[in-house]
Amino acid sequence: MSPKYLIGVDLGTSATKAGLYTAAGEEVALASVEVPIANPSPGVVEQETDEFYATAARAVGQLFRDSGVDPVAVAAIAFDSQMAGIGTIDDRFLPASRFDSWLDMRCQPQIERIRARFGPLVTRLTGCAPTCDHGPKMLWCKEEQPGVYGRTAKFVVPTCYVAGRLAGLAAESAFIDHTFIHFSGVSDAKKGAWSDELIGLLGLDRTKLPRIVAPWEVVGEVKDEGARDFGLAPGTPIAAGCGDTAACALGAGIVRPGMLFDTAGTASVLAGCTDRYVADERHGALLTMRSVVPGVWHPLAYIAGGGMALRWFRDNFWGAAQGRPRSVAAGNRKRSEPATRSDELYDEMIDRALKIEPGAEGLYFSPHLGGRICPASPEMRGAWVGFTWRHTEPHFFRAILESIAFEYAYYVRILSELAPELAMAEARVAGGGAKSAAWNQMKANVLGVPYRRLGRDELGAWGAALVAGKAVGLYGDLAEAAAERAITRGAPLEVEREARAVYAPLVESYVRLQERLAATFRELDAPREEAGGQGERG
């Protein structure tokens, strides 16, 4: 039997999703498995590194059970994963500590120190201003967990850990692909290499960094143990894979300059597309990521937990205010509850919120409940500003929806400064939030760019599958393959000019408000900085 299927696995923050596809891009089966997240204290967010492997194995196994496809017919597999967090492995390719999530903010002192001493150099070389990513996290590990740092043979991202375990790699063969390295804090992004200068300035051990590879490089083949765990055929090629945003952008067909990609998920991510490298040295808000596609770059920014803010409000305020049962409204929804019930509640919330005039009658929301990532202000928190006696639940929810659109407008403004020749042509949106046409229309009006919903619900796994296909020669030109197989749903939502004119001054007010809030939270946070670091974890 000649191999004709591809598998892509998205190692997400809260779920691992696997997809089985034909080379033509037809979706054969999808599977999803929840991933536990530990939040033992404020600012601390960890995950068990082995859970990425275990949940991937369960999800891939489910694909075969649901589809009936013979594992021998799978041509290749690739993974994508969350990007800004970092894990550790010891000499045996086993975790040396828990995975340090991108949501974990304990490295704030390291971020501030790096920013103060050589922030512009980090931004210029890596394409990413000092923020809550690998560099500060590795430095935090060295300073606050010296035992873990000593045991660490390599710092790794989830794609490497799962692919490496599946292929039986030795620690010295650990890798990271080029779509992650803007988040490393110690790379030369344009060269696609580690920066000895930055490594030296941070005082990190270069031997603990993995080798940098192309996403489509075959890093190994499925070994017997991995075959038993995943249900794959031994010898199946494994591609290096890529970061989740890069995979989603590829799966969405974001391969031409001027396109925008909105990931309306747990994190609210807005990525642009350019044919040249740009570094946001002035604002430190945009991160410039290498695309999977050679010669293409994605300047992007994101709100950590942007989409989570909607669920937080639903579970803790809206449902309770409407007298809904605690199991639905208060954050402990039963697993057996149909997803459609949740969708219907969101539809009701958005419908009522949109009856409120733009600007929510003077109410603004800051969506940075766990700290601001772009630009890095870990001390930032959520806030409502301007509420009065007349404001109701729909006002507050509308303010949340608008805050994410306003934040996106701030990102687009900076992108236009960095690449004034770039004509914003179309935004494509995916993720749970993409289901709301009304919210998509709001974003189109705020940004001044037509919005189009994508037809695939799982873009990360599909993007990873495209990478797997490239790795074994099923695709030649990745940009062409991705563009031809991208699925959109309906005509784009065009910009409503009158609404855009209303939103323009509101965006200006929002940007000024964020600057003032950042200063306020820095002042409030100052006494806590004297508390020192956290203890070591095993």
Per the CB < 8 A criterion, the answer to whether 432 and 15 are in contact is no
Structure tokens, 482: 């991705």
Spatial distance between the Cα atoms of 288 and 276, rounded to a whole number of angstroms: 10
Does residue 417 fall inside a structural domain? Answer: yes
Spatial distance between the Cα atoms of 308 and 264, rounded to a whole number of angstroms: 10
Per the CB < 8 A criterion, the answer to whether 180 and 243 are in contact is yes
Residues ≥6 apart with Cβ < 8 Å to 203? 139, 142
Q: Domain range spanning residue 323?
A: 306-454+490-530
Note the Cα 87 to chain centre separation in Å. Answer: 16
How much is the pLDDT for 344?
A: 80
Does residue 450 fall inside a structural domain? Answer: yes
How much is the pLDDT for 323?
A: 54
Does residue 207 fall inside a structural domain? Answer: no
Structure tokens, 501: 């004119």
Does residue 364 fall inside a structural domain? Answer: yes
Spatial distance between the Cα atoms of 281 and 35, rounded to a whole number of angstroms: 36
The CATH number assigned to the domain holding 324 equals: 3.30.420.40
Number of H helices, E strands in the chain: 17, 25
How much is the pLDDT for 322?
A: 53
Amino acid at 72: V
Domain count, the chain: 1
What are residue 32's DSSP bridge partners? 17
Does residue 183 fall inside a structural domain? Answer: no
Task: Give the predicted TM-score (pTM) of the model.
Answer: 0.87
How many Cα atoms are found within 13 Å in the side-chain-facing hemisphere of 339? Answer: 2
Using DSSP, state whether 336 is helix, strand or coil.
coil
258: left (phi over 0), alpha (psi -120 to 50) or beta: left
Note the Cα 119 to chain centre separation in Å. Answer: 23
Per-residue pLDDT of the chain (538 residues; tens, 9 = 90+): 567 999 999 999 889 999 999 999 999 999 999 999 998 888 899 999 999 999 999 999 999 999 999 999 999 999 999 999 999 999 999 999 999 998 898 998 999 999 999 999 999 999 999 988 999 999 999 999 999 999 999 999 999 999 999 999 999 999 999 999 999 999 999 999 999 999 999 999 999 999 999 999 999 999 999 999 999 999 999 999 999 999 999 999 999 999 999 999 888 999 999 999 999 999 989 999 999 999 999 999 989 888 889 989 998 998 655 555 443 333 333 333 444 566 788 888 999 999 999 999 999 999 999 888 888 888 899 999 999 999 999 999 999 999 999 999 999 999 999 999 999 999 999 888 898 999 999 999 999 999 999 999 899 999 999 999 999 999 999 999 999 999 998 899 999 999 999 999 999 999 999 999 999 998 987 765 555 544 443 3
| DSSP secondary structure of 264-300 | ESSSEEEE--BSS----TTT---EEEEPSSTT-EEEE
Does residue 346 fall inside a structural domain? Answer: yes
**Strand-strand pairing, 175-177 and 211-213:** parallel
How much is the pLDDT for 41?
A: 86
Angle, CA 408 vertex, CA 32 and CA 300 arms, to 5° = 65
Helices 158-167 and 49-67 cross at an angle (nearest 10°) of 70
Does residue 11 fall inside a structural domain? Answer: no
How much is the pLDDT for 121?
A: 97
Does residue 480 fall inside a structural domain? Answer: no
